[in-house]
Amino acid sequence: MNARRGKPAAGGVGSVRIIAGQWRGTRLPVPDRPGLRPTSDRVRETLFNWLQPVLPGARVLDLFAGSGALGLEAASRGAAHVQLVEADGALAQALAGAAARLDAQGRVAVRRGDALAFLRDDSGEPWDIAFVDPPFAAGLWPAVLELLPARLAAEAWIYLESPAECAPDLPAEWALHRESGTRDVRYALYRRVTLPGIQNAAKP
């Protein structure tokens, strides 16, 4: 998510496009829902440049899926499995429709429900990459970051979007790999460090 929307269409509905990969150029509808902030093309391009070495074959969790721009971009670029979690019923239905149109049901799953409940209930294989961009005003960061690490692989990656100049606190095991920002949003990629001698880069 991000404060920037795609070009509005009739009825107040905009769209975002998948930038690269199998479904390059595909437009995803963006319903006019309170707090919905589809991640801009520029931010997604930067993020997926960071992730490209580790994305193919990865298991990806998109906790606040919204328009699906992050999770479906990951699937388009080679992620093996993507789980989209979305509490809003209309958005979850739109995500399921997008997955069906892309014939992606085998690699993309949609869960309608609360992200915290999902993290408490999830007992499947650990996730390699997690996208975390909750509604900024909801105050969900502490609860999400307390529950999420137990659901991730030993050397997983977390992508966070937060208000500009605001960096949520992560446990010490998470090292900053890259960060950047726009006028409204700080976005950053962290890696779980479990092996000695791993060096993590700072800003690009």
Residue 151 has pLDDT above 70, yes or no: yes
* Number of neighbours of residue 2 by Cβ within 10 angstroms: 23
Of the two residues 15 and 129, the one the predictor is more confident about is 129
Of the two residues 80 and 138, the one the predictor is more confident about is 80
- Tell me what the mean pLDDT of segment 171-189 comes to: 93
Mean pLDDT of the chain: 86
Residue 109 lies in a domain: yes
Residue 121 lies in a domain: yes
pLDDT tens, 94-141?
A: 999 999 999 998 899 999 999 999 999 988 899 999 999 988 878 898
Q: Domain residues for 172?
A: 10-192
Q: Would you call 42 helix, strand, or coil by DSSP?
A: helix
State the Cα–Cα distance between residues 37 and 136, nearest whole angstrom: 10
CATH code for position 35: 3.40.50.150
State the Cα–Cα distance between residues 119 and 114, nearest whole angstrom: 9
Residue 202 lies in a domain: no
Q: How many distinct structural domains can be found in the chain?
A: 1
Residue 5 lies in a domain: no
Residue 199 lies in a domain: no
Residue 120 lies in a domain: yes
Work out whether the CA dihedral 1, 140, 47, 24 comes out positive or negative.
Answer: negative
Tell me the pairing of strands 127-132 and 174-181. unpaired
pLDDT tens, 22-74?
A: 999 999 887 777 667 778 889 999 999 999 999 999 999 999 999 899 999 99
* Residue 85 contacts residue 115 (beta carbons within 8 Å): yes
